[in-house]
Amino acid sequence: MARISINGDSLVVDIEGLDKLWALKSQLTIPLENVRGVTADPGIINDPKGIRSPGTHLPGVITAGTFRVDGERVFWDVRDATKAVVIELVDERYVRLVVEVADPRATVTLIEKALAVR
């Protein structure tokens, strides 16, 4: 699971618990100017994951780490798809972050408010 916060002009994604091991990351910091949008999307789990590079994928258990889809990098950290949010990015290492959060609606609202203020 991930904890998302806004720190100044940055979106901060903290990977929690053992997911750090599976995702091979503990934190991602993205300038808000590079965030295009965010949605709660439990159906994203059915999308093709692409090639792990590096990452962990155990269907129905966990998808975590970096995956390449059509030459683009996507970061995943999802166990429970009902809590997945998708953060679209531009001019970043990843084109998309797909992460599980405790409260998808609150997370979407937090990011949308930060984008509106910016």
What is the SS3 string spanning 33-71? HHEEEEEECHHHHHCCCCEEEEEEEECCCEEEEEEEECC
pLDDT value of position 118: 72
Q: Between 48 and 114, where is the model more confident?
A: 114
pLDDT value of position 32: 97
Q: What is the pLDDT of residues 35-82, one digit of tens each?
A: 999 999 999 888 878 888 888 988 889 999 999 999 999 999 999 999
pLDDT value of position 46: 86
Q: Which domains does the chain show, CATH number per domain?
A: 2-117 (2.30.29)
pLDDT value of position 50: 86
